[in-house]
Amino acid sequence: MNVELKDNQRFLSGLMFLGIGAIAIYMAQDYPMGSALRMGPGYFPIALGGIMIAFGLFELVIGVLKPARVKGDNWSLRALAILPLATVIFGILMEHTGFVPALVALVYISAWAGPQFKFWEVTLIAIFLTAASVGLFIYALGLPYPLFVGY
């Protein structure tokens, strides 16, 4: 099977493990290593970093020898960009405008990542979900969030 390296899932995973292991060891240099008798805070992370590098190298080699293609047809870039964005905006709005605007914005932006965006349908979801959440979380469970900041 002929798979380009950028589509080779084993190669890419190996690269990721290798990278994380290297970063872990690099960062853990600042933590005292200690000895086996008295393990310092650096001991465990460095050992784990070494294990990660070993597995990373193994996957790299296997990936070149026996390539396997990345799962799925595409990287679903639309959802990959929009959903984390929606999550972050929820966090910001929770802090500054309150529970209701944050939730409504979350529903609209998330729905935008879907295959079709029907305005009325999304509005209904937003109304229903907000009403249910206000009832459940704010009134029934008593979470201390303002519905709207300033009101």
Partner 1 sequence: MELFNNLLLGFSVALSLQNLWFCFIGVFLGTLIGVLPGIGPLATIAMLLPITFNLAPTSALIMLAGIYYGSQYGGSTTAILVNLPGETSAVVTCIDGYQMARQGRAGPALAIAAIGSFVAGTICTLLIALAGPPLAEVALKFGAPEYFSLMLMGLVTAAVLAHGDMAKALAMTALGLLVGVVGTDVNSGMARFSFGYPELTDGIGFVVLAVGIFAVGEIISNLGETEERQVFTSKVSGLMPTKADLKASFWPILRGTGLGAFLGVLPGTGPAIASFSSYMLEKKLSKTPERFGKGAIEGVAGPESANNADAQCKFIPMLTLGIPASAVMALMLGALTIQGIAPGPQVMTQKPDLFWGLIASMWIGNLMLVVLNLPLVGLWVSLLKVPYRILFPCIMGFSCIGIYSVNNSAFDIYMTAIFAVIGFAWLRLECPPAPLLLGFVLGPLMEENLRRALLISRGDPTVFFTRPISLGFMLVTLIILILMMLPMVKQKRAVITD
Site for partner 1 in 20-79 (CB under 8 A): 20, 24, 27-28, 31-32, 35-41, 44-45, 48-49, 51-52, 55-56, 58-59, 62, 68, 70-76, 78-79
Cβ 145 vs Cβ 134: under 8 Å: no
Pick 2 or 137: Cβ nearer partner 1: 137
Pick 4 or 71: Cβ nearer partner 1: 71
Report how far residue 125's alpha carbon sits from residue 133's, in angstroms, rounded to the nearest whole number: 12
| Ranges within 93-122 binding partner 1 (CB under 8 A) | 94-95, 102-103, 106-107, 110-111, 113-116, 121-122
Residue 20 Cα distances to 17, 27, 71, 77, angstroms: 5, 10, 22, 24
Q: Closest approach of Cβ 57 to partner 1, in Å?
A: 10
* Residue corresponding to tokens 């190996």: 14
Report how far residue 120's alpha carbon sits from residue 27's, in angstroms, rounded to the nearest whole number: 51
What spatial distance separates the first Cα and last Cα of the chain, rounded to whole Å?
A: 63
Show Cβ contacts of residue 30 under 8 Å, excluding neighbours closer than 6 positions. 42
Pick 40 or 147: Cβ nearer partner 1: 40
90 binds partner 1 (CB under 8 A): yes
| Ranges within 127-146 binding partner 1 (CB under 8 A) | 129, 133, 137, 141-144
